[in-house]
Homo-oligomer: A and B are copies of this chain.
Amino acid sequence: MLISMSEAGSFLENCDNAYILVHQSPDGDCIGSGFALHAVLKSMGKRSAVICCDPFLKKFDYITAVENNTDFEPDTVIAVDVADTKLLGKYQEIYGDKVQLCIDHHVSNVNYAERTLLDSKASATCEVLYKLFTCTMGIEISDYTALCLYTGIATDTGCFKFENTSAETHEIAGEIMRQHKLNYAKINREMFDIKTAGRLKMESAVIDIMEYYLDGKVTVICITKELLDSLGVDSNDLDGCANLPLQVEGVEVGITIKEKAPDSYKISMRSTGDVNVSEICSALGGGGHAKASGCALDGKLEDVKKILVEAVRKGMSL
């Protein structure tokens, strides 16, 4: 059931002993949302804990290094930034059908919870929470909560770069910064600029092996097991690498081919906007969004590449 801001506010005011579930492979928005809600509930004298099936990355220590004792029986189960219970990992079985309140911004939210506060126009769940806490519930948030919420908004918008950034996103960032004098630039540097040595090595290698097709409109990178072994990098360093082929001037479609097993490949396809890669990937048995889709193909790498480039050529009507 979709509920309003004030209904969500009332629910929070009346709950206690809450487990706050966030999604697997936790990112800045679900971590920021989860710990902001944890802090706000604590300030209201309530017990809560943030629960995730995966560990939090070290770069989020400034958010996650707080008291977070999970050793109690929850009376309340809340999910933040979780569009589908599948994303709860090992907690799906335990809590998937027990979520009393979900707060989210994903248009793809499958409405699994008893109550869902959904604002699909919001750039981030942290943007929804900012409005809920300050406008609806009239809470004066702490510097720590402000930092949590800023982190979620900044990370989900690529630091106000992507098209999910609205006038309201900037207005909220402005309000947060006006009321809380904190080192936002330092957070942004940690979130956007700093890379592990392994990640840098991987990016360098990917640029070196990038192939150009169709007059440079299409780029292809192949990440084989051999390549990963030779670089000594692990799968953490591959996070988000599907976006790398799009950074070249003139490219419209970027294809990343990852070797899963011998002669078996997982493909990520990204579009800068004009080409619908969802259609192209659907024709190959996959699917996704217009700008970000994927599929799986078996065969020799050279044949897989040919199939993909030919499919894109057709999709671009070249």
Report A's interface with B, CB cutoff 8 A.
158-163, 165-171, 173-178, 183-186, 188-189, 192-197, 200-201, 203-205, 207-208, 210, 212, 216, 246-249, 272-273
- How close is A160's CB to chain B, nearest CB, in angstroms? 4
Residue of B nearest to A212 (CB): B197
In the docked arrangement, what's the CA distance between A163 and B162, Å?
A: 20
Which residues on B sit within 8 Å (CB–CB) of A201?
Answer: 207
Which residues on B sit within 8 Å (CB–CB) of A188?
Answer: 161-162
Which residues on B sit within 8 Å (CB–CB) of A166?
Answer: 177
Residue of B nearest to A178 (CB): B167
In the docked arrangement, what's the CA distance between A286 and B194, Å?
A: 27
Which residues on B sit within 8 Å (CB–CB) of A158?
Answer: 159
Which residues on B sit within 8 Å (CB–CB) of A189?
Answer: 161, 272
In the complex, the 9 A-B pairs of residues with the closest C-beta atoms, listed nearest first: A170-B174, A163-B185, A167-B178, A204-B207, A167-B177, A171-B174, A161-B188, A204-B204, A170-B173
- Copy number in this complex? 2
In the docked arrangement, what's the CA distance between A246 and B194, Å?
A: 8
Asked whether, in the complex, the Cβ of A249 is within 8 Å of the Cβ of B196, the reply is yes
In the docked arrangement, what's the CA distance between A96 and B174, Å?
A: 38
In the docked arrangement, what's the CA distance between A205 and B207, Å?
A: 9
In the docked arrangement, what's the CA distance between A207 and B204, Å?
A: 6
Which residues on B sit within 8 Å (CB–CB) of A160?
Answer: 159-160, 170, 173
- How close is A317's CB to chain B, nearest CB, in angstroms? 22
In the docked arrangement, what's the CA distance between A174 and B153, Å?
A: 14
In the docked arrangement, what's the CA distance between A167 and B181, Å?
A: 10
A-B pairs with beta carbons under 8 Å apart, 10 shown:
A160-B160, A161-B185, A166-B177, A167-B178, A170-B174, A171-B174, A194-B249, A196-B249, A200-B207, A204-B207
Asked whether, in the complex, the Cβ of B197 is within 8 Å of the Cβ of A248, the reply is yes
In the docked arrangement, what's the CA distance between A187 and B205, Å?
A: 28
In the docked arrangement, what's the CA distance between A207 and B200, Å?
A: 7
Asked whether, in the complex, the Cβ of B194 is within 8 Å of the Cβ of A248, the reply is yes
Asked whether, in the complex, the Cβ of B167 is within 8 Å of the Cβ of A174, the reply is yes
Which residues on B sit within 8 Å (CB–CB) of A194?
Answer: 247-249
Asked whether, in the complex, the Cβ of A248 is within 8 Å of the Cβ of B171, the reply is no
In the docked arrangement, what's the CA distance between A116 and B169, Å?
A: 33
- How close is A266's CB to chain B, nearest CB, in angstroms? 24
Asked whether, in the complex, the Cβ of B167 is within 8 Å of the Cβ of A175, the reply is yes
In the docked arrangement, what's the CA distance between A212 and B200, Å?
A: 13
